[in-house]
Amino acid sequence: MEWIRVLVAGAAGRMGREVVRAVCGQEDMELVGAVDRARVGEDAARVAGMEVTSVPIAASLSDTIAQTSPDVAVDFTLPDSVMGNVETALRAKVACVVGATGLTPADLEDLGALCQEMKTPCLVAPNFAIGAVLMMRFAVEAARHFDAAEIIELHHAGKVDAPSGTALRTARMIAEASCGAGVPTPAEPPARGQREAGIPIHSVRLPGLVAHQEVIFGAVGQTLTIRHDSISRESFMPGVLLAIRKVRGLKGLVVGLEGVM
């Protein structure tokens, strides 16, 4: 059995701790490195609520890569650090799985070019829940048959970006499927939501939520609602583990978990 050596960036965060737990529970994976701005020097597994693994959280990604030689780097950091982290890993020829938000279309273009230059793959996914990927796929199918659509996305109060990456990607996919909602009307009030590719997106941030999204389609005399709910962060782990196992077989930059499903 081939072991996959995994480094987790953002290891002290909510998602990072979940990834550490998931990786440590796999027979074909080994946690070799953990990086975060917080809790430096503490054992990554203990921070994640597990028994000690002797993998301390470090402050420097480049140093940790040099010391641990990971096969895959998983990044669930903040928007202000994700690009630098992924560039560092790719230049070290470490395949990347990225769940951090905040990457712009221009950022993705830059990462795609860097993947080609370094001949190292990277998978960027706005959502690692299998159900969320299916929700987006079903929304594309519905967009071909309905006149208009709007997106409501709901997340925990600590989420730093709005709209969410999942909502933005869903809107772009719907617009590409030629839904009539892509035609904006002039002088719409702000309450009508922020538009992406012509699709209104409404963001909700409240305590008690994790990650939820519904896409509401409308046509004459009918509506259709497609909704996905992540009620715990464990829902993202099957997708993250799938990405870790598949990313090294990819070429270049792949956006969306559907690229390995």
Mean pLDDT computed over 33-51: 95
User: Is residue 111 classed exposed, middle or buried when 0-12, 13-18 and 19+ CB atoms within 10 A define those classes?
Assistant: buried
Q: Are residues 174 and 220 in the same domain?
A: yes
Q: Are residues 240 and 193 in the same domain?
A: no
- 11 Cβ contact list (under 8 Å, min separation 6): 17, 19, 20, 34, 35, 36, 44, 47, 48, 57
Tokens 């196992």 -> residue: 245
CATH of the domain at 178: 3.30.360.10
Contact present, 148 and 218 (Cβ < 8 Å): yes
Strand order in the sheet with 95-98: 57-58, 29-35, 4-9, 72-75, 95-98, 122-124, 253-255
Residues with a catalytic annotation lie at 155, 159
pLDDT digit string, tens, across residues 14-29 = 999 999 999 999 999 9
Please tell me the total count of domains within the chain. Answer: 2
- The verdict on pTM exceeding 0.75 is yes
Which range marks the domain in which residue 209 is found?
A: 130-230
Q: Are residues 157 and 223 in the same domain?
A: yes
Q: Are residues 119 and 141 in the same domain?
A: no
Distance CA(99)–CA(75), nearest Å, equals 6
Radius of gyration, alpha carbons of the chain:
19
CATH of the domain at 117: 3.40.50.720
pLDDT > 70: percent of the chain:
95
Distance CA(67)–CA(87), nearest Å, equals 18
Q: For 116, how many CA atoms within 13 A lie in the half-sphere containing its CB?
A: 5
Q: Are residues 113 and 239 in the same domain?
A: yes
pLDDT digit string, tens, across residues 223-250 = 999 999 999 999 999 999 999 999 999 9
Q: Are residues 116 and 12 in the same domain?
A: yes
Q: Are residues 28 and 72 in the same domain?
A: yes
- 25 Cβ contact list (under 8 Å, min separation 6): none
Distance CA(50)–CA(156), nearest Å, equals 24
Q: Are residues 246 and 195 in the same domain?
A: no
Cα-based torsion angle of the residue sequence 227, 175, 205, 11 in order, rounded to the nearest 10 degrees: 90
Q: Are residues 79 and 112 in the same domain?
A: yes
Q: Are residues 92 and 214 in the same domain?
A: no
pLDDT band at 181 (very low <50, low <70, confident <90, very high): low
Tokens of 77: 């950091």
Q: Are residues 136 and 177 in the same domain?
A: yes
Tokens of 66: 């040099």
Q: What is the pLDDT of residue 99?
A: 94
Per-residue pLDDT at 187 exceeds 70: no
Q: For 85, how many CA atoms within 13 A lie in the half-sphere containing its CB?
A: 31
Q: What is the pLDDT of residue 180?
A: 56
Q: Are residues 139 and 210 in the same domain?
A: yes
**Amino acid letter, 131:** G
Q: What is the pLDDT of residue 179?
A: 56
Name 148's bridge partners: 218
Mean pLDDT computed over 131-138: 96
Contact present, 89 and 236 (Cβ < 8 Å): no
Per-residue pLDDT at 153 exceeds 80: yes
Is pLDDT larger for residue 68 or for residue 261? 68
